[in-house]
Structure 1
């Protein structure tokens, strides 16, 4: 099955001409431009903006926190205005690099002025929320969602309890899955342009947080308030498993498969068994949920992210096992044989239909 279905595959015949016209109208002047020319233009824009930032920083910002805050806001606002003036490569990259530098000046100035990580995290969250809606660029919206999500989790770690942080992480997972599941309907709304970058930003926030929790747990724990307890890994795994099972149920419905049929029971049993085997590594079931969304939305980027993090969390699962090396090898051997047997069962029970050419 192709990862990129054609318009003929996904739309009725009466809507195909209108869709082709809409896609053609969105093409810009850079479509036929060689990729290396676009790279050079973008590099020139970034280089010019950083020279400007260095000049302004030497004259205005050094030792002057209020100046950094004001200059950062001016640069960020100017970048948003500049981005709305055009969509060619130079303008978009110049606006993006200038805006990122402005955001860094603003957040750094707030932190230096208040000497408070809480205030800096709150300022980051507010700024990125505003940019998410006012800055018309997919990359900036992705970064705003990522930075805002991480700032929210950090703020909760510094002020709340570990349980609240984990509950919020599950909530962000729910939001990411809903955005991908309802992607087609939401993109036709007034804020359709921020659906996809926000969904990718939330997924990246989830996976990055789980990497911190799995591989750098001591540092992750040091960010909490003293005495603050977090959810046991098994509870977090079950929460993420529920979200993944819900998405699997929705995908089965959208593909006209019966959730209570043989295919649905097999999918649910496989996901449940995976969650049960990796209770101490919540990242595994989270990455499998992303893999499910990637296959459903035919997103190569999402599939690549999911496969990469499945491997990362798989290695973490191996090292997290409190067993001898011999016992670990037997566990890996047994789980591998079980997965091969499951694959054989699925191929025999649900043979793939022949592709129609």
Structure 2
């Protein structure tokens, strides 16, 4: 995989193109354009994750301080305090500067903590005022849209976008007003998420500002798959509701086939034997109604095609979980489950031997 997952910088790419005569050496206009398309310089991913954890802990402390240390009697007060925290976060970010200094890092972390606290208090206040989960969704959406271009921090954009999608999933899954149409709304929302994620992934005209939204959509799809494999039921009163996984499984299988075609270079390239077998395998996954397994493979395929290791890691982490659940939930005896596991392993080994025998596992011939 390392042969195809090599990372390149903008300067390396320009030098390689210049050496092969595709561009003129020293073209400052082209160099400026390429560098302008790059994302703003940010800390490594693991550092941003640690910053997020630290800001989350700080936000909890700040919320506790507001709730216990201040005399807040009305929900409207939480609303005002939340907006004040949001404004303070924006001011801190503006004055933090661009240098990688201790002062800049401290101000950015403080700004992120204030922003998370302000948004949480704002959403909490509106939920308590209107006494509705949908009010929380609309509040989260409103504050996310209002701050998206004002507060330019990718971690905040991702978390805010994911919070909007996650709140919609919670409302669709648990609001009692949707007992007869819950499955329709759930599947419709997942379908819209897949379409939007496909647009953000495959379109070359989407600005990099929306990359956090793309990751939020894929994380939300993972949440939807986890909803279907969770141990709780969607139950209200004396009735028990079931959201069947077949639609989501077929939807993810179709997306996987589309991803294979896109990576291969278009639907016309699907005539090769290797790609036909890959598409048949995707269709088989859709037929057995295992949306989690299909989604995990889809994430790894897209990550491979887009050279995004985050998506590959997401798929690799989720695949064992969904495989375990699928075999664990089979309504057969323990001996029969053992037979299914052994049979699946033998089938995979046979497929691997066939691919090697036909030399379909070599990238140049496939």
TM-score band, normalised by shorter chain: 0.7 to 0.9
**What's the secondary structure of 1:113's corresponding residue?**
helix
Match of 2:335 in 1: 326
Match of 1:307 among 285, 303, 316: 316
8 Å contact from structure 1 (residues 174, 243) kept in 2: no
8 Å contact from structure 2 (residues 249, 285) kept in 1: no
8 Å contact from structure 1 (residues 71, 102) kept in 2: yes
Give the TM-score of the pair, scaled to structure 1: 0.80
Alignment RMSD (CA, Å)? 3.6
Could you say which structure has the higher helix fraction?
A: 1
User: Which stretch shifts more, 326-335 or 77-86?
Assistant: 77-86
Q: How does 1:204-353 map to 2 (within 5 A)?
A: 204-218=219-233, 221-222=234-235, 231-253=243-265, 258-277=269-288, 279=289, 281-347=290-356, 348-352=358-362
8 Å contact from structure 2 (residues 228, 243) kept in 1: no
**What's the secondary structure of 2:270's corresponding residue?**
coil
8 Å contact from structure 2 (residues 190, 248) kept in 1: no
CA deviations on 1:140-193 (whole Å, 9 max, x unpaired) are 1110121010112233342543211122112212322332223x5423xxxx22
8 Å contact from structure 2 (residues 55, 112) kept in 1: no
CA distance in 2, matches of 1:304, 1:331: 27
8 Å contact from structure 1 (residues 172, 206) kept in 2: yes
Change in Cα spacing, 1:3 to 1:16, as seen in structure 2 (3 Å) is farther
Match of 2:129 in 1: 113
Change in Cα spacing, 1:54 to 1:245, as seen in structure 2 (3 Å) is same
Match of 1:97 among 113, 124, 130: 113
CA distance in 1, matches of 2:50, 2:90: 22
Residue ranges of structure 1 left out of the alignment (5+ in a row)? none
- CA deviation after TM superposition for structure 1 residue 204, in Å: 0.8
CA distance in 1, matches of 2:53, 2:323: 37
Q: How many pairs align?
A: 338
Change in Cα spacing, 1:269 to 1:49, as seen in structure 2 (3 Å) is closer
CA deviations on 1:268-313 (whole Å, 9 max, x unpaired) are 1121122223x1x321111111111111112221111101111111
Residue ranges of structure 2 left out of the alignment (5+ in a row)? 99-103
8 Å contact from structure 1 (residues 124, 147) kept in 2: yes
CA distance in 2, matches of 1:40, 1:251: 34
Match of 2:35 in 1: 22
Match of 2:217 among 197, 202, 219: 202
Match of 1:172 among 181, 189, 193: 193
CA distance in 1, matches of 2:155, 2:352: 38
Give the TM-score of the pair, scaled to structure 2: 0.78
Match of 2:5 among 3, 6, 15: 3
